[in-house]
Structure 1
Amino acid sequence: MRKLLGLFILVAAASCEDPKRAAVQESEFSGYWYQNQAEINVYALEQVRYGEIREGEAVMIFVTEDFSKKDQVKLDNPQDTPSDARKVLKLNKTRSFQTGVYPYHTMLSVFTPVYDELKSPKIVASVTEWCGQAFTQMNWRNSNYQIRQFSYFESEGDREFKINAASEDELWNLIRLNPELIEEGESSLIPGLVYQRFSHVPLKNENVLLSKKSINPSVTELTVDYQDLARTLRIRYQNSFPHEILSWEEEEVSQKGDTLLTKAVRKKKQMLDYWNLNSKADSAYSQSLAL
């Protein structure tokens, strides 16, 4: 009886585990991403805001870390609670640009499991400018994104709601893990959180068409065509591992019928343990990144 009970417990525990990503090649992945460094990418940005092009800068920082399954935060001491640790690829993506007299700053953070076939457990975005702040956080729990949305706009106010769909913001990390994880065809996605804050469209799942095309033998372009938003996102990346992101475009059609194009092209890339480079002497690294 005890043996049968033990076997039942083992089977039940195994059935509760998240399925594994077969597409992640451990040897090449660990050789690149487990160097105790982050990959920092700097892009020349042309951002559409208020119907005009604003020159600015975007930075995409990719790094792996141990993430709490239970609390969905970075673990300070993962060795103390190994059963709660999940390896994630984290993206921190910033944009900075000027609108007239005042600046805009945005930040997107996406935490995507490396080995578990699971939606990104946490996605966060913030937008700050002189009028105020807006902040959105999505946590994947119980087969839904639990969403909390905060804004200085009365019409958007503080809200909590749920959406059962994948997120556009996860695509960046899936490309870096393995572009084959992104299937072509019709799908449903939650639009990017920064786009949503800029456009003020209601946050909900939208019908999209995902497609890929070869730009040249070494570069592919992923296209995310929103069927009802008059918006298209295009991301160009290297075919070979580690699938670096070279550029992206966000095409929108304004209410006047004008085509508006935000685009970013990479100008610098460097692997750094930036969290240790916080002295005045380390400002030389900013110069090397053209920041």
Structure 2
Amino acid sequence: MIVSKKNIAIVIYLFSASIISSCNSTGRKAIDEEQFASHWYQDRAEINVFDLKQMRYGQAREGKAVMIFVTEDFSKRKQVKLDDPAGAGKDAMKVMKLNMTRDFVTGIYPYHTMLSVFTPVYDDLNSPKIAASVTEWCGQSFMQLNWKNNKYQGQLYSYFEAEGDQELSISAKSEDEIFNLIRLNPELVPTGTLKIIPSLIFNRFTHLPLDAESANIAKRKIGSNQAEIEVIYEEIGRNLLIRYVDAFPYEIISWNETQTKEDGTEEVTSAVRTEVQMVDYWRKNGLQDEPLRKSLGL
């Protein structure tokens, strides 16, 4: 019998995952080990490309959004990717990582945003680390939240005088981890009315003080194989709608953000998926690999 490298990798990850799960009394029961490993433990990342219509300064801007989902080993103590997972012992934790970018142009100058979310695969805990950055010709800003002592400890670095450099502390779940929870299993997404932290990219675009806001989260089926999750914030006029395939691996199909302004007008940002590929992109870094971007529509 011929055993492929892919199958060997899956077996190794399943074995290590079973050890992690058996030592974890608060494991996520919604994760199907064998099914999860068959997709996520291939030593590849899932790259999703979206056509983006981003509202900025009252006008819709066409651009691209990319959502990169990948599993990796994470340090519980340092809250960074581990260099030596095998030697980390109990400090190691498997996470689902989302790196999400948006690229669009406002008039003469470009915008680039990036959101990174690290969500435990097996531990029933809040995402230990969430970071967001926005760069454009006027300047750059960066925000990071780290879950410590049952709350998020945050730092904001901004080129705006009114914001400056500041620290904050918020005890609540984050909207940004919903994408990762969907990919793990949509049943993990909480529903009903609760306090959550709005998207960090939304925060950077609106410059509202970051805090836990009251939101209603609803989940519903919209067809034979699709479902959606909607997050509505009445007080800050924000609505997030995420549509996904209602079967493993729960791929994200599209998402909309609606912001209701003080005068009642609505601004809608939308993203519709056009391409998805499993790629070990970190090994595709030579000049000869650049044509691969075309296959992704980039």
Question: What TM-score, normalized by structure 2, do the two folds share?
Answer: 0.91
Say which SS state the counterpart of residue 180 (structure 1) adopts: helix
Match of 1:95 in 2: 102
Match of 1:54 in 2: 61
In the TM superposition, 1:112-151 aligns within 5 A as 112-151=119-158
Match of 2:16 in 1: none
> Do the aligned residues in 2 keep the contact of 1:18 with 1:118 (CA within 8 Å)?
no
Structure 1 position 272 matched with structure 2 position 279: yes
Instruction: Report the more deviating stretch, 16-25 or 64-73.
Output: 16-25
Aligned-partner Cα distance in 2 for 1:162–1:18: 28
Amino acid paired to 1:22: K
Amino acid paired to 2:228: E
Amino acid paired to 1:20: G
Deviating runs (4+, > 3 A) in structure 1? Answer: none
Say which SS state the counterpart of residue 257 (structure 1) adopts: coil
Say which SS state the counterpart of residue 35 (structure 2) adopts: helix
Amino acid paired to 1:65: E
Match of 1:190 among 192, 197, 200: 197
Q: Using the TM superposition, give the Cα deviation of residue 183 of structure 1 relative to its aligned residue in structure 2, in angstroms.
A: 2.5
Aligned-partner Cα distance in 1 for 2:38–2:54: 35
Unaligned ranges ≥5, structure 2: 1-22
> Do the aligned residues in 2 keep the contact of 1:18 with 1:117 (CA within 8 Å)?
no
Instruction: Report the more deviating stretch, 93-102 or 77-86.
Output: 77-86
Match of 2:20 in 1: none
Match of 2:113 in 1: 106
Amino acid paired to 1:122: K
Match of 1:235 among 224, 237, 242: 242
Q: Percent identity?
A: 55
> Do the aligned residues in 2 keep the contact of 1:138 with 1:145 (CA within 8 Å)?
yes
Match of 2:221 among 214, 220, 226: 214
Say which SS state the counterpart of residue 27 (structure 1) adopts: helix
Match of 1:33 in 2: 40
Instruction: Report the more deviating stretch, 262-271 or 181-190.
Output: 181-190
Say which SS state the counterpart of residue 228 (structure 1) adopts: coil
Match of 2:14 in 1: none
Match of 1:23 in 2: 30
Aligned-partner Cα distance in 2 for 1:153–1:222: 34
Aligned-partner Cα distance in 1 for 2:136–2:236: 25
Match of 2:183 among 164, 176, 179: 176
Aligned-partner Cα distance in 2 for 1:262–1:67: 32
Q: Using the TM superposition, give the Cα deviation of residue 17 of structure 1 relative to its aligned residue in structure 2, in angstroms.
A: 5.5
Match of 1:5 in 2: none
Question: What TM-score, normalized by structure 1, do the two folds share?
Answer: 0.93
Amino acid paired to 2:87: D
Aligned-partner Cα distance in 2 for 1:21–1:248: 25
CA RMSD of aligned residues (A): 1.0
Amino acid paired to 1:39: E
Structure 1 position 45 matched with structure 2 position 52: yes
Aligned-partner Cα distance in 2 for 1:172–1:207: 19
Match of 1:252 among 259, 268, 273: 259
Aligned-partner Cα distance in 1 for 2:175–2:191: 14
Q: Using the TM superposition, give the Cα deviation of residue 170 of structure 1 relative to its aligned residue in structure 2, in angstroms.
A: 0.5
